[in-house]
Amino acid sequence: MKLSVANLNSHYGPAHILFDIGLEVADGEVVALLGRNGAGKSTTFRAIVGLVEQRSGTIVFEGFDVSRAPTHEIVRRGLGYVPEERRIFTELTVEENLEVGRQSVRPNAPQWTREKLFALFPNLAELRHRPGGRMSGGEQQMLTIARTLMGNPSLVLLDEPSEGLAPKIVEQMVA
Ligand SMILES: Nc1ncnc2c1ncn2[C@@H]1O[C@H](COP(=O)(O)OP(=O)(O)OP(=O)(O)O)[C@@H](O)[C@H]1O
Ligand SMILES: [Mg+2]
C-alpha cells in the first residue's frame, strides 16, 4: 500500500473534527475524497501531512510510520501536498517559487523539470519572471501545483486542484 491511514482523529482546540478516518491508496491508484463544505476534507489532508497539531491515529507512507513525523520529513519522503489556499511566495517569481519546491529525483516517482512543467502549464512559461503576487487566481493555482510537482513526489494530495482553472488546463493535468 502506498498510503494507509487508520483511526485518524483531529481536533481544532476543543472541536473534534475527524472521527476515526481510515483510507488506503494503492500504488498507481487515484482516490477521490468527497464531502460537503466543512465535512473535513482539507483537515484530513492537513492531518496526514502533519499540519494539524492535534491528531492521533496511524499514517503509514511507503511502509514508514509517519504518524508523528514533522511535515518537512513527510514531504521529503515523497508525499506532495497542494493546499486548498494557494500558498505561493508573492515576492518570488514563478521560477523562484518552483525552485523552492525542488527536491532530488526519486527512483519510484516521475522526474519533473521546470521545462516539463512549463509544457504542462504554458501560462506559467509566459510568466516565468513575474512575482507570484501579481498573477491571477488560476495562475497562482497552477503555480501551487507545479511547485509541488518540482519535489518529484511519489504521491500527491491535491485539495480542490481544479478550482479556478480553465477546463482545458484541467484536462491537460488529468492526462
Ligand atoms: N483552523 C481552524 N480552526 C478551527 N476550526 C477549523 C479550522 N479549519 C477548519 N475548521 C473547521 O473544521 C471543519 C472541517 O473543515 P475543513 O476545512 O476540513 O472542511 P472541507 O471539507 O475541506 O470543506 P470545503 O469543501 O469548504 O473546503 C469545519 O467545521 C471548519 O469550520
Ligand atoms: Mg477544504
Which listed ligand is nearest to 36 at the C-alpha?
A: 1
Ligand 1 pocket by C-beta < 6 Å: which residues? 12, 15, 17, 35, 37-43, 84
If you take atom 27 of ligand 1, which residue's CA is the nearest one? 37
Each residue of 32-47: b (16+ CB within 10 Å) or e? eeeeeeeebbbbbbbb
* Residue 66: HSE in the Cβ half-sphere, 13 Å Cα cutoff: 24
**Band of pLDDT at residue 87, cut at 50, 70 and 90:** confident
Atom of ligand 1 nearest to the CA of 39: 21
Average pLDDT over residues 73-93: 94
CB 107 within 8 A of CB 67: no
User: 17 alpha carbon to ligand 1 midpoint, in Å?
Assistant: 8
Closest atom, ligand 1, to C-alpha of 46: 18
Exposed/middle/buried for residue 129 (C-beta within 10 Å: 0-12, 13-18, 19+): exposed
Per residue in 107-132, pLDDT (tens digit) is 989 999 999 999 999 999 999 999 99
CA 99 to chain centre: 16
Whether the per-residue pLDDT at 41 is higher than 90: the answer is yes
pLDDT of 2-18, one tens digit each?
999 999 999 999 999 99
**pLDDT value at residue 131:** 96
Whole-number Å distance, alpha carbon 91 to ligand 1 midpoint, is 28
Q: What are phi and psi of 10, to 5 degrees?
A: -140, 145
The protein residue whose alpha carbon is closest to atom 17 in ligand 1 is 42
pLDDT at 70 over 90: yes
Position 76 scores a pLDDT of 95
Give me the mean pLDDT over the 67-72 stretch: 95
Q: List residues, by chain if needed, whose CB lies under 5 Å from ion ligand 2.
A: 41-42, 84
Average pLDDT, the chain: 93
**Percent of the chain surpassing pLDDT 70:** 99
Q: Which domains does the chain have, with CATH numbers?
A: 3-77 (3.40.50.300), 94-153+162-174 (no CATH)
Rounded CA-CA distance 60/139 in Å is: 33
Pair type for strands 54-61 and 64-65: antiparallel
- Per-residue pLDDT of 126-175, as tens digits, reads 999 999 999 999 999 999 999 999 999 999 999 988 887 888 878 877 76
> Which ligand approaches the C-alpha of residue 44 most closely?
1
